[in-house]
Amino acid sequence: QLKDLIQRTNKKYGKPSAEKFVIRRVTIDGVLIRFKIEQELRIGLGDKLCNRYGNKGVISLIEDDKKMPRTPFGDRVDIILNPIGLIGRMNMGQLYELYCGLISKELGRRIIKLNDRSQVIDMLRRVLVKLDGSKGQKSSTRMINNMSKLSDAQFKNLVNQIKETGFVPIIIPPFQALKHQDINSALKVLGLKSAYHLFLPEFGVKTKNPVTVGYMYISKLEHIADLKVFGRSTGPVVAKTLQPTSGKRHEGGQRLGELDTYSFISY
């Protein structure tokens, strides 16, 4: 039965029926079964995150949700980024995405409360035109026209998707980047600000200065602190130098470079 299953699988995916497998230069007789195991790892200190604009950094603190700053909308902040990363990288695109995410969230809040289809389309038209950098606002005009042609069932399905996600998709065409004046205009249409005073629950006060807040995509990189931590006392050494062998695979040590040393000293 197993051989029949393998033959059907090979035929389905176009693989040769008598494929040979070699592991460590030894040909395997019979069937090779590979298992892929997925493991969900909780994020921790030292793990690396990045956004879509070249910014990356490690997690320096994981705070309790109850102590995280709150926005005027009642949402808790998930991640606080170091502003030096913006100045050092000089990538303003992440601010544009942050504000577009804020606009998208506000549109979602308002559309959920509206029942009239014409009001929803009118609101989207007033906002999306401001965020359209294409010539003659062709992109937003096409999108609004397509939404106007939806049937009642299709339009209801669209609103239900917005309710589930809480966001209205905003598509910026390639090579048609927005200007900050366009984003400011869209913010004004919805009565939004470029920065807010956030409430700090731990101290019961608001921030002295307004803080830029919004929504953006954050990705987790493969640099996981728990997998990098490794130590040894005695073990294999290189015969010529008597230094520890390199690499965890060979029970070796890990190099502490100049910048690593500075990090330890500063900590």
Q: Please provide the average confidence, as pLDDT, over all residues in the chain.
A: 86
Residue 206 binned pLDDT confidence (cut-offs 50, 70, 90) = very high
In one-letter notation, the amino acid at residue 105 is K
DSSP symbols for 12-33:
HTT--TT--EEETTEEEPS---
Strand partners, 48: 58
Angstrom distance (rounded) from CA 139 to CA 133: 8
Catalogue the long-range contacts made by 197-204 (C-beta closer than 8 Å, 24 or more residues apart). Answer: 197/72, 198/69, 198/70, 198/71, 198/77, 199/69, 199/70, 199/72, 200/69, 201/66, 201/67, 201/68, 201/69, 201/70, 202/67
Average pLDDT over residues 44-48: 90
pLDDT in the model for residue 61: 92
Angstrom distance (rounded) from CA 205 to CA 213: 17
pLDDT in the model for residue 11: 82
Q: What is the Cα Rg of the chain in Å?
A: 27
Inform me whether the pLDDT recorded for 100 exceeds 80. Answer: yes
More confident residue, 175 or 206: 206
Structure-token match 């992109």, residue found? 139
pLDDT in the model for residue 48: 92
Q: What is the CATH number of domain 48-206?
A: 2.40.270.10
Inform me whether the pLDDT recorded for 135 exceeds 90. Answer: no
Residue 110 is inside which H or E element, if any?
Answer: helix 93-113
Q: Domain-by-domain residue ranges, the chain?
A: 48-206, 231-266
Most confident of 73-82, 108-117, 252-261: 73-82
Inform me whether the pLDDT recorded for 251 exceeds 80. Answer: no
Angstrom distance (rounded) from CA 69 to CA 197: 10
Average pLDDT over residues 144-163: 89
Phi/psi for 6 (5° steps) reads -65, -40
